[in-house]
Amino acid sequence: MSRIGNKIIPVPSGVKIQIKPDAVEVQGPKGKMHVPVPGGIRFEQKDGTLVAKRDSEDKRALHGLARALVANAVTGVTTGFKKDLDIVGVGYRAEVKGKNVALALGYSHPIEFPIPEGITITIEKQTHMVVSGADKGQVGQVAANLRALRPPDPYKQKGVRITGERLKKKAGKAGAKSAA
């Protein structure tokens, strides 16, 4: 029995849902999303709620997935999703220039990162970025792509990291004197 698939999705006021045979379209104040639905799963809308139903028992694995994707779309068009990133390092900084983010991450050249459609990136204090948007998967992927430009170094902890990310710090070379 799928526990996630059987949970109802509350639909807030101001959100319009259009159910098609192979997809669900969700429209709200933050935008419009199109969620493909696998075969054998269907959605029913009843007085302000949305319920996922499966046709047969062999669709168990997709039942919870389809429900979670539609629930994320409903949350995305109402409140949206965001990821916070911190830039740690001397001289490391970022700034928004039009539709790009210019990052200085210790390389010999600045990095221009294009901001995808549907995503907004704001920068506070040059070392804190907030990636936000309606699509949870796209927000997470953009945050991962920004982090991949300079992943945190295990020795000095410098680089781009997601706020709250726990890092394992490695000890330096044993017996070496630090030239501080």
With contact defined as beta carbons under 8 Å apart, do 141 and 113 qualify?
no
Q: Could you say which architecture CATH assigns to the domain 9-78?
A: Alpha-Beta Complex (3.90)
Structure tokens at 58: 């062999």
pLDDT value of position 174: 77
Quote the percentage of the chain above a pLDDT of 90.
Answer: 32
With contact defined as beta carbons under 8 Å apart, do 128 and 87 qualify?
yes
pLDDT value of position 140: 92
pLDDT value of position 20: 87
In this predicted structure, the answer to whether residue 8 has a pLDDT above a threshold of 60 is yes
In this predicted structure, the answer to whether residue 84 has a pLDDT above a threshold of 90 is yes
- CA–CA separation, 180 and 62 (whole Å): 56
Structure tokens at 60: 């168990």
- CA–CA separation, 107 and 45 (whole Å): 53
- Reported as a single tens digit per residue, the pLDDT across 119-142 is 999 998 888 999 999 999 999 999
pLDDT value of position 108: 92
pLDDT value of position 175: 62
- Reported as a single tens digit per residue, the pLDDT across 50-75 is 888 888 888 888 888 999 999 999 99
Task: At 55, give phi and psi (nearest 5°).
Answer: -75, -40
In this predicted structure, the answer to whether residue 178 has a pLDDT above a threshold of 70 is no
In this predicted structure, the answer to whether residue 180 has a pLDDT above a threshold of 80 is no
Spatial CA neighbour of 23 closest among 8, 10, 39, 9? 39
- Reported as a pLDDT band with limits 50, 70 and 90, residue 1 is low
Domain boundaries, the chain: 9-78, 81-162
Q: Do domains 9-78 and 81-162 have the same CATH topology?
A: yes
Q: Quick one: average pLDDT of 13-18?
A: 88
Task: At 36, give phi and psi (nearest 5°).
Answer: -70, 140
CA atoms within 13 A on the CB side of 109: 3
Average pLDDT, rounded, for the chain:
88
CATH fold of 81-162, please? Outer Surface Protein A; domain 3 (3.90.930)
pLDDT value of position 177: 64
**Angle between helical axes of 136-148 and 60-78 (0-180°, round to 10):** 80
- CA–CA separation, 77 and 96 (whole Å): 24
In this predicted structure, the answer to whether residue 3 has a pLDDT above a threshold of 90 is no
pLDDT value of position 39: 85
Residue-wise DSSP of 62-80: HHHHHHHHHHHHHHHHHT-
Structure tokens at 172: 């330096």
pLDDT value of position 61: 84
